[in-house]
């Protein structure tokens, strides 16, 4: 499993699974938010399926909602909307566990290793620090290595906004390759 940090918009890093985040109560409506960009790129059918009114009260922090993005299908097989909680390492860890569990199952279903693209989810205002984010991600990578489940994953690509963020994330990353 290759782990890489790239300076890029996460939507420009093709993968089997795209991880984005949302608030559990309502997606952020700012045009620059991950959910607004996802809705714009994935199309109206995706937005209609992502109906918070019917899911309200059934979603919990740490959940991952798996969606099929019709308009993004040339770049991503699925979009996983994670609910990491604001500044909560425990629910962030549950979200990562759910993400990798889904990826493990998808790899078995399609009979090949899968790739994941993700931004540093859960790190927006009031959220996790980059150190907390990378600590949780490194712990999850360690578990994948210990169990041998890393074999189901080809790459994990982390999108950085700029060179400074890339260097910070790479400096905190404990693995570049898991074998």
Segment 104-135, tens digit of pLDDT: 999 999 999 999 999 998 887 667 889 999 99
In the prediction, which pLDDT does 145 show?
97
Contact 121, 20 (CB under 8 A): yes
In the prediction, which pLDDT does 67 show?
82
3 state DSSP class of 32: coil
In a domain, 111, yes or no: yes
In the prediction, which pLDDT does 37 show?
85
In a domain, 177, yes or no: no
In the prediction, which pLDDT does 23 show?
75
In a domain, 96, yes or no: yes
**Residue-number span of the structural domain to which 165 is assigned:** 2-172
Say how many domains are in the chain.
Answer: 1
In a domain, 16, yes or no: yes
In a domain, 128, yes or no: yes
pTM, full prediction: 0.91
The pLDDT confidence band at residue 65, using thresholds 50, 70 and 90, is confident
In the prediction, which pLDDT does 126 show?
67
Contact 170, 4 (CB under 8 A): no
Which token pair is 94? 């549950």
- Which residue matches tokens 């540093």? 120
Quote the percentage of the chain above a pLDDT of 90. 55
Cα–Cα dist 47/70, whole Å: 11
């Amino acid at each position: 499993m290759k782990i890489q940090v790239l300076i890029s918009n996460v939507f420009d890093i093709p993968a089997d699974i795209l991880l984005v985040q949302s608030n559990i109560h309502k997606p952020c409506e700012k045009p620059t938010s991950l959910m607004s960009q996802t809705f714009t790129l994935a199309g109206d059918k995706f937005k209609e399926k992502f109906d918070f009114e019917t899911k309200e009260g059934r979603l919990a922090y740490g959940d991952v909602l798996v969606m099929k993005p019709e308009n993004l299908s040339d770049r991503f097989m699925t979009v996983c909307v994670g609910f990491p909680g604001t500044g909560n390492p425990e629910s962030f860890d549950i979200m990562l566990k759910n993400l990798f569990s889904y990826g493990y199952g998808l790899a078995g279903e399609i009979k090949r290793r899968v790739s994941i693209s993700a931004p540093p989810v859960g790190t927006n205002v009031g959220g996790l620090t980059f150190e907390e984010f990378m600590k949780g991600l490194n712990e999850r990578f360690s578990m994948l290595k210990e169990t041998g489940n890393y074999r189901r994953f080809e790459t994990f690509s982390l999108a950085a906004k700029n060179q400074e963020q890339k260097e910070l994330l790479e400096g905190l990353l404990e693995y570049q390759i898991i074998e």
